Each structure stands twice: as C-alpha cells, then as structure tokens.
Amino acid sequence: MRHDLEALVAAAQAGDRSAFDDLVRATYIDSYTLAYRLTGDEDDARDVVQEAYLRAYRGLKRFRGDAQFSTWMYRITANCATTFLGKRTKNRHDELTDDLVGDEPALTVDPEASVDAAATRDRLQQALRRLPPRLRAVVVLRDVYDLPHESIASELGISESAAKVRLHRARRKLRADLVTMREPDEHEEGSADARAV
C-alpha cells in the first residue's frame, strides 16, 4: 500500500491528475477522521478536508517524500483545521470550548475489542469532545497520530514548549474526565453489590 502511494505521488507530481484522484481516494477517510477529531463537527470537517486536499494539490511539487504521504496530509489537515477554528472563533467572538455536542458519526469498530475497552473508548471520545480545541488538537496529533512535538508546534503555529504544556493539560483533563465518568458506574456497581449482600 505504501509503495502504491509512493508511485501515485510520483505520478501525480509528474502531472498525472488521475493519480492525484487515486491518492485522494486512498487517504480521504483518514484525513476526514482527523479533521472531525479536531473540529468536533461533521460539516466543519468536510470543509477542512476539501481545503486540505486543495492545498495538497497546489503544493504537491514541494512534497519531497521525507515522510509518508498520509503523514504529510495529517499535517496539512491539522494546519487547515487550526486556520478554520481560528476564523470561526473570530467570527463568533467567543471561546469554543465545552459545547461541542452532537451525534458521533458511524464508527468502524474493531470486532475483537472487549466490552470494557469499548466503554473506555466511548468515554474517552466524549472527554475528547469536551476539551477546548487548542488542547484537543495537540493531544490528538501527539497521542493518536504520533506526530512529533516539533511538527505539531509548527502546524499549530505555537512554540514546542507551548505544545508540551498543552499536551500535559489535555492529558490531565482527559484523565480527570475519565475518572469522573467511571465513578458513577462504580458507585452503581458498589450499590448493586451492597444490595446483593
């Protein structure tokens, strides 16, 4: 698959439009997933992904193949999402924080995942959506997509130390949220045990 992508990139760089279309087909779901995780909104994610591929098309000759094409697309998508969220904040004159609530789009779930892991994942996704976008962007890029601090800082237009501070805050908030969400379940289990006794 990776070699296929490399061949497609080479062909697209040589001016083959259909090769670029194939690159889009091969990667757009991953790019959309990242855009959705960063924006928390389906429509916004669609806009971000369209803009990201347009930028990729215009800048394809500058892609030197140091990283994988998909990683390059993650960086462009993250950059577009940051610009998009920045504009949206400016337009609304308010801080986008805790109110990103909506239905999660259909999720392709690993069938072998255990019930407990699925519950943790659902809680984590809820907690992630409650994070302020600036913290969410850093933790998603670092802990989900494994991008280095340096790339994250450069794509988000912040310093590397600011990226590290945001990562620490985001992880702390996620942990605290997860603990808070688990506690009611544990209380229920506890009272069920008590009733059983």
Partner 1 sequence: MPVRCEDVAPVLGDAASGAVPFDAATRLHIEHCLRCQAEIVQYRRVLRGLRAMRTQVLEPAPGLLPGILATIEEAGERRALRELIDGRRAAYVGGLAAATAAGVGGAIVLATRTRRAHRLAG
Residues found near partner 1 in the complex (CB under 8 A): 17, 20-21, 24-25, 28-30, 32-33, 36-37, 42, 45-46, 49-50, 53-54, 57-58, 104-110, 113, 117, 120-121, 124-125, 139-140, 143-146, 167-168, 171-172, 174-175, 178-179
Q: Which is nearer to partner 1, 104 or 189 (CB)?
A: 104
| Contact indicator for 39, 88 with CB cutoff of 8 Å | no
3-state secondary structure string, 41-86? CHHHHHHHHHHHHHHHHHHHHHCCCCCCHHHHHHHHHHHHHHHHHH
Q: How far is the CB of 42 from partner 1 (least distance, A)?
A: 7
CB of 188 to partner 1, least distance (A): 19
Nearby residues of 113 by Cβ (< 8 Å), 6 or more positions away: 121
**Hey, what are 185's tokens?**
């379940």
The CA distances from residue 78 to 54, 169, 187, in Å, are 14, 19, 39
Neighbours of 45 (CB within 10 A): 23
Nearer to partner 1, 10 or 54 (CB): 54
| Cβ-based nearer residue to partner 1, 8 or 167 | 167
- Looking at beta carbons only, is 125 or 161 nearer to partner 1? 125
- The residue (of 95 and 159) whose beta carbon lies closer to partner 1 is 159
Query: Residue 122 and residue 127: Cα distance in Å, rounded?
Result: 9
Closest approach of partner 1 to the CB of residue 93, in Å: 29
Minimum CB–partner distance for residue 20 and partner 1 (Å): 7
Q: How far is the CB of 128 from partner 1 (least distance, A)?
A: 8
